[in-house]
Amino acid sequence: MASSTFSIGGERTVRRLGFGAMRLPTAPGPARETSLAVARRAVELGVTLIDTAHMYGWGANEELLAEALHPYPDDLLVATKVGIAPPTADREAAVHGRPEFLREQVDEGLRRLRVERLELLQLHRIDPEVPLADQLGALRELQIQGKIGHLGLSEVTVSELEEARKIIDVVSVQNRYSMLDREHEAVLDACDAAGIAFLPWRPVHPSANSAAEEIAAVAAELGATAAQVSLAWLLDRSPVVLPIPGTGSIGHLEENTAAAGLRMTKDQWRRLDRLRAG
């Protein structure tokens, strides 16, 4: 049975089933109050890894988590991301990896999360218009200054991961991945081989046709939901996988976190492993 925890960068041990804060509404009103309650309930349920980003509400999501959870429990790791510029009157949101912009976003993230160091900072996207060494070099300088604890990447290929590892110590990769969406299988395998945390976003893929039937069948056998089965499959896929399911509902949050205790047989896992989207 795979461990329920993982040590990110060999230093920060977290429970492998985390929480993605992207879906939490941040506008003033009842929905925001629910968001605060969801974040607090996640910690109560033992979640020790929460994922956010500057892009999620252009800082509002980070501020929401700070309001809900600061001062943070010692074992809680709040990971954030930089590298996307907000939309303006004359352009849409865009990847932006110039060093001065990344430095500014890191400083803003420190302020919004009310911390002196971002324990895990991931580059949201690699900017193809800026040399990778410049982007990662700027973040490495901030790491040396003590503003960043560990560095990770998001939505990268195997070759990009290899190139990045020549510049920085990459401790995490956040790519889209699920039982039915395995486009980045090779990236996960590379992370597995290197002991790098792999944080799949959108870990529960909407299933259809025969896949839905098979997932439902395994769920019925286990007395679980299809979403719980999908998360349990990910946890069994590799010990470096740290799913970060997101929700704005306490009920769904409790359902998701319970998936960490689900135990399927090797035969059930193999039946699910044969599935693909379609």
pLDDT of residue 206: 75
Tally of helices (H runs) and strands (E runs) in the chain: 10, 11
Token digits of residue 197? 């945390």
The CATH number of the domain where 167 resides is what? 3.20.20.100
Please indicate, yes or no, if residue 266 is contained in any of the structural domains: no
pLDDT of residue 159: 98
This prediction has a pTM of 0.96
Q: Are 22 and 61 in contact (CB under 8 A)?
A: yes
Please indicate, yes or no, if residue 233 is contained in any of the structural domains: no
Count of CB atoms within 10 A of residue 278's CB? 9
Q: What is the DSSP letter of 141?
A: H
| Residues noted as catalytic | 56
Please indicate, yes or no, if residue 255 is contained in any of the structural domains: no
Instruction: Report CA dihedral (165, 167, 171, 176) to the nearest 10 degrees.
Output: -70
Burial of 89 (0-12, 13-18, 19+ CB in 10 A): exposed
Domain that holds residue 93: 5-204+239-246
Alpha-carbon Rg for the chain in angstroms: 18
Contacts within 8 Å (CB) and 24+ apart, 180-184: 180/205, 180/207, 180/211, 180/275, 180/276, 180/277, 181/205, 181/277, 182/276
Burial of 269 (0-12, 13-18, 19+ CB in 10 A): middle
Of the candidates 113, 180, 167, which has an alpha carbon nearest to the alpha carbon of residue 137? Answer: 167
Q: What is the DSSP letter of 246?
A: B
pLDDT of residue 46: 98
pLDDT 10s digit of each residue in the chain, 278 long?
579 999 999 999 999 999 999 999 999 999 999 999 999 999 999 999 999 999 999 999 999 999 999 999 999 999 999 999 999 988 899 999 999 999 999 999 999 999 999 999 999 999 999 999 999 999 999 999 999 999 999 999 999 999 999 999 999 999 999 999 999 999 999 999 999 999 999 999 876 667 888 999 999 999 999 999 999 999 999 999 999 999 999 999 999 999 999 999 999 999 999 997 54
Q: Are 182 and 162 in contact (CB under 8 A)?
A: no
Please indicate, yes or no, if residue 79 is contained in any of the structural domains: yes
pLDDT of residue 1: 58
Please indicate, yes or no, if residue 275 is contained in any of the structural domains: no
How many distinct structural domains can be found in the chain?
1
Please indicate, yes or no, if residue 261 is contained in any of the structural domains: no
Token digits of residue 57? 């509400």
Q: Are 249 and 257 in contact (CB under 8 A)?
A: no
Please indicate, yes or no, if residue 82 is contained in any of the structural domains: yes
Q: Are 203 and 226 in contact (CB under 8 A)?
A: no
Please indicate, yes or no, if residue 265 is contained in any of the structural domains: no
Token digits of residue 106? 């890191």
